[in-house]
Amino acid sequence: SAVAEAGARGRLLLWPRVVLFGDSITELSFQENGWGASLAERLVRKCDVVNRGLSGYNTRWAKLILPRLITNSASAESTVAVTIFFGANDSALKDLNPKQHVPVDEYAANLKSMIQYLKSVDITEDRIILITPPPLHESAWEKECLAKGDKLNRCNATTGEYAQACVQVARDCGTDVLDLWTLMQKNQDFSSYLSDGLHLSAKGNSFLAAQLWSHMEKKLSALPSLCPYWRDVDHTNPEASLL
């Protein structure tokens, strides 16, 4: 068939990919006006933006899953950027949320081990962006907890210690870092960035999208657009343009 013939002559078109790896704040990022969707929109025809957000996960679990998501051989596409965005669950208070809590030293060690793993499959540190957890708005999150019959199980000062540890890991390992915890609190009232005290609101999503793009733009905006612009296709001989 003509299609098979075209396939035989043309090389498989592979889109480079950006992998978003994180917890629920990443999993939800493809919702309407989400930060992941916004990134995908900016990179359309240049990159596939792949959502690997796992709601409720901490770095202890993430470290085990990462080698099953990104391997040397699984995708011939080059991975041009990876975001690692954990800490909102790790920083849960041990006494009140032992299932998700990970001590801050182990959190830092887990982030380092994920960076080492990515480097072992040829994703260099300049392609890795760590994102700190956002600040926690305690009164709003407490309402969510109480509605489930729980006590307030996180606190902003503790989340800040994890954010600091994340920034330090990035310094030690030479990766990029987006310190969301600090940036969102520069404007004193950060509550409008959060929908429930923990997860991002529409405003928080657009804030993160803008901050992340300023980190990624220099890496990714130079990537070529895949497939010729339609006006540049030779309509009398499309094979010459497209294969």
Known catalytic membership, residue 24: yes
Known catalytic membership, residue 196: yes
Of the residues 29, 91, 137, 199, only one is catalytic, namely: 199
In the sheet that holds 176-178, the strands lie side by side as 48-53, 17-22, 79-85, 128-131, 176-178
Known catalytic membership, residue 235: no
What is the distance between the alpha carbons of residues 127 and 205, in angstroms, rounded to a whole number? 22
Tally of CB atoms within 10 A around 97: 16
Non-local CB neighbours of 70 within 8 Å, separated by 6+ positions: 19, 79, 82, 118, 121, 123
DSSP category for residue 200: B
What is the distance between the alpha carbons of residues 206 and 28, in angstroms, rounded to a whole number? 13
Of the residues 122, 172, 196, 234, only one is catalytic, namely: 196
- The catalytic residues are 24, 196, 199
